[in-house]
Structure 1
Amino acid sequence: MGLKDWIEAPATAVVPATRSKLNWLRGATARLTTPLLPDDYLHLANPLWSARELRGRIVDVRSETSDSATIVIKPGWGFDFDYAPGQYVGIGLHIDGRWHWRSYSLTSPPNWDDKRISIAVKAMPEGFLSAHLVNGVPSGTIVRLATPSGNFALPDPPPERILFLTAGSGVTPIMAMLRTLSRRGRRPDVLHVHSARTESEVMFGDELKALADDHPEFRSHIQLTRSQGKFALSSLDELCPDWRERTTWACGPLPMLDEIERRWQDEGITDKLNLERFAVSRADTSGKGGTVTFEKSGKTVTVDGATTLLEAGEGAGALMPFGCRMGICQTCVVPVLSGHAIDLRNGKEHAEGDRVQTCVSAAAGDCTLDA
């Protein structure tokens, strides 16, 4: 590699190389000061400046419902705002001396002008980070960011007829799509069916109503399950007679998505279905667990059979690669050096020499990972 190519190369793998001038400056600064990277000096000038990682500052926290909020973030150097509506972004937050990472759907449309992104988070009873983001994170907090990614995305140009099926916080990636369509002035025929327990628990309820009032080509059906019961897929024939011809995006609880997937398979139209799962269906792995050693990081931790290897590594302070955290993108794959690991989705065991997806695998006895 010549000097010019070496300087212009991205400073880090997590910073996209789509903005050549920005990467030239950051890359040159990082490399010409090797081995003393300039981050410590840059941080004194501006906490968002980094040659090694993507950072952002939380600039606003807006309540959506009693247990959910929109988090507005100003990204720093190197963030690519040309993401596709519907993709997710990794967020790292420093709490109690260590970094906690999760992935959340972007709710903001792609926009280089505004230089802001937003996510919407619903606090879950078992969700340590989600509860902190909704109830405890102050404006001004510096976060780490991962590059937006994911295949659950709206194409450009969009289909002429669209069906959105969502429930609970599954509405979040759809909001990015709806806001993008509105901003671009695109007017496809859209039906959005959204389920929530009560009217007060409908995330973005006022905005969805306003969209329906202002755009006759957009129809919104809100199913309040506590008073109206679960939305029946059989009612689509009356609500939307041409649903089989529409491109569909569905996001919500796993049982809902499993039912949708079966129905679309029965109809022979799975090529028109896009699914986004926020959780992983797990097989019965009772009695598993063990001591996990992370060879490169020099960390060791003992975990139960319900804790993923990714969660174990992050909890122990090991530097773990990750992406979707749902077993889709393959970013988190690492080799097993010894022992056994088990895939939580299907119970398949992996042994020495195998490569495992740490976000959906757990220890099956003591094991050592090349991480």
Structure 2
Amino acid sequence: MTILDKPKLAFWSDAEELECVSFLPEAPNVMTFCFQSVSGALFSYEPGQFLTLEIPVPGGPLYRTYTISSSPSRPTSLTVTVKAQANSVGTRWMLDHLRPGMRIRAKGPAGSFSLVNHPSDKYLFISAGSGITPMMSMTTYLYDAGRDPDIVFVNCARRPSEIIFRDALEHMASRINGIDLKWVVEETDPFSPWTGYLGTFNQLMLGLMAQDYLEREVFCCGPEPFMQAVRDVLIGLGFDMDRYHQESFHAPNIEAEATPDDVVPDEKADALIEFVASGITANCTETDTVLAAARTAGLVIPSGCSMGICGTCKVRKTEGQVHMVHNGGITDDDIEEGFILACCSNPIGQVKIDA
């Protein structure tokens, strides 16, 4: 099946593998991979959502979560843009080995970080590094709608050569009104003039970039220290934080408030987990997570963030009780149907899991 063949009137689901059809270097240690469905099915998702890829590294698969950088307004393909850090394993494997013709399994799409959930006439997108990927997806989505949007797009990078999607975004901004790009770098590239903002994002910069910031819906993505700095800037300026939304694969710093009848796992209490589909029984304590017990017993449950955010480790509990404290990676409907997140669920007594 190629892009020139007539597509089927069906949408891709994660039961089908993705085929890598191209790749594009974007910046140092950053690459965009383009995928199509093997059957020719189209892709349906919300701009800003993410996928969890099963990466076939030596020694067993790794599960890594990446935001989709393409837009659902272009449904014949799907892209993820990945950045390898110094200690990356899965992402480094992708940069070094994932090439056209190879197939890879994926779970998703998932996540609620999308402008479709928070419609507005005015947007302020603030990102740093590879946190630009959901902003690229949402900006392309608005661009493809054909109407002039109202976006102030702020991206922070170490230096100009490390700004991801710069050429593509400047191309879109040159063809319609309403995409106002603001680049911020910490240092310049040698022998290359820089006329944008220099330094770190702050209140003064925000006032110069978007004087009407109080009227805008804010979406933020980047490393946690960066997002904390953005939150501090907005709070200090009196921004309504109900209009602030962030994407992060780090657990938020929220203190859980226990209720009197809340079940609290006891580190001295024994628990027993029966993984029904695999025929494996695991002995553990109530303070062990279902995911940790599975790994100790030699059972692989796909997982990504391990903090209850991405939803990759969702499994169905058929009997028993667990204590689950998640960070948005599972819906109330899923919980009603018996699903749990293995990474943040503690077994209470005897539990049966369909895995």
Within 5 A, what are the aligned runs for 1:250-261? Answer: 250-261=220-231
SS of residue matched to 2:247: strand
- 1:185 paired residue among 127, 136, 146: 146
Partner residue of 2:210? 240
Partner residue of 1:219? 180
Change over 3 Å in CA distance of 1:359–1:124 after alignment to 2 = farther
Normalising by structure 1, report the TM-score. 0.67
SS of residue matched to 2:227: helix
Moved more, 215-224 or 157-166: 157-166
**Which runs of 5 or more residues in structure 1 are unaligned?**
1-19, 24-47, 346-354
Partner residue of 2:5? none
- 2:125 paired residue among 164, 167, 187: 164
Q: Quick one: distance in 1 between partners of 2:76 and 2:226? A: 35
- 2:242 paired residue among 250, 262, 271: 271
Q: 1:252–1:278: 8 Å Cα contact kept in structure 2?
A: no
SS of residue matched to 2:208: helix
Within 5 A, what are the aligned runs for 1:1-371? Answer: 53-77=15-39, 81-96=43-58, 98-111=60-73, 115-155=76-116, 158-227=119-188, 228-265=198-235, 267=238, 269-280=240-251, 295-296=275-276, 297=278, 298=280, 310=291, 313=294, 318-320=299-301, 326-328=307-309, 332=314, 357-359=341-343, 370=353, 371=355
| Equivalent residue letter for 2:207 | D
| Equivalent residue letter for 2:308 | G
| Equivalent residue letter for 1:100 | L
Change over 3 Å in CA distance of 1:199–1:299 after alignment to 2 = farther
Q: 2:156–2:185: 8 Å Cα contact kept in structure 1?
A: yes
How far does residue 231 in structure 1 lie from its aligned partner after superposition?
Answer: 1.1
Q: 1:150–1:324: 8 Å Cα contact kept in structure 2?
A: no
Change over 3 Å in CA distance of 1:166–1:131 after alignment to 2 = same
Q: 1:103–1:325: 8 Å Cα contact kept in structure 2?
A: no
How far does residue 153 in structure 1 lie from its aligned partner after superposition?
Answer: 1.0
Q: Quick one: distance in 2 between partners of 1:186 and 1:158? A: 15
| Equivalent residue letter for 1:213 | S
Identity of aligned residues (%): 27
Change over 3 Å in CA distance of 1:316–1:223 after alignment to 2 = farther
SS of residue matched to 2:36: strand
How far does residue 169 in structure 1 lie from its aligned partner after superposition?
Answer: 0.4
| Equivalent residue letter for 1:101 | Y
How far does residue 343 in structure 1 lie from its aligned partner after superposition?
Answer: 6.9
Normalising by structure 2, report the TM-score. 0.70
Q: Quick one: distance in 1 between partners of 2:9 and 2:168? A: 38
Q: Quick one: distance in 2 between partners of 1:236 and 1:147? A: 35
Q: Quick one: distance in 1 between partners of 2:166 and 2:296? A: 36
| Equivalent residue letter for 1:85 | P
How far does residue 152 in structure 1 lie from its aligned partner after superposition?
Answer: 0.7
Q: 1:334–1:358: 8 Å Cα contact kept in structure 2?
A: no
Change over 3 Å in CA distance of 1:251–1:148 after alignment to 2 = same
Q: Considering Cα pairs closer than 8 Å and 6+ residues apart, tell me whether 1 or 2 has the greater RCO.
A: 2
Change over 3 Å in CA distance of 1:316–1:273 after alignment to 2 = farther
SS of residue matched to 1:244: helix
Cα deviation digits, residues 235-256 of structure 1 (max 9, x gap)? 2122211101101110001012
Q: 1:299–1:318: 8 Å Cα contact kept in structure 2?
A: no
SS of residue matched to 1:226: coil
Q: Which has the higher helix share?
A: 1
How far does residue 368 in structure 1 lie from its aligned partner after superposition?
Answer: 8.8
Q: Quick one: distance in 2 between partners of 1:156 and 1:344? A: 21
Change over 3 Å in CA distance of 1:309–1:181 after alignment to 2 = same
| Equivalent residue letter for 1:91 | L
Work out the number of aligned pairs and report it: 310
Cα deviation digits, residues 89-136 of structure 1 (max 9, x gap)? 121122325332222111111146x52110000012232111111222
How far does residue 180 in structure 1 lie from its aligned partner after superposition?
Answer: 1.4
SS of residue matched to 1:223: strand
How far does residue 318 in structure 1 lie from its aligned partner after superposition?
Answer: 2.7
Change over 3 Å in CA distance of 1:301–1:115 after alignment to 2 = farther
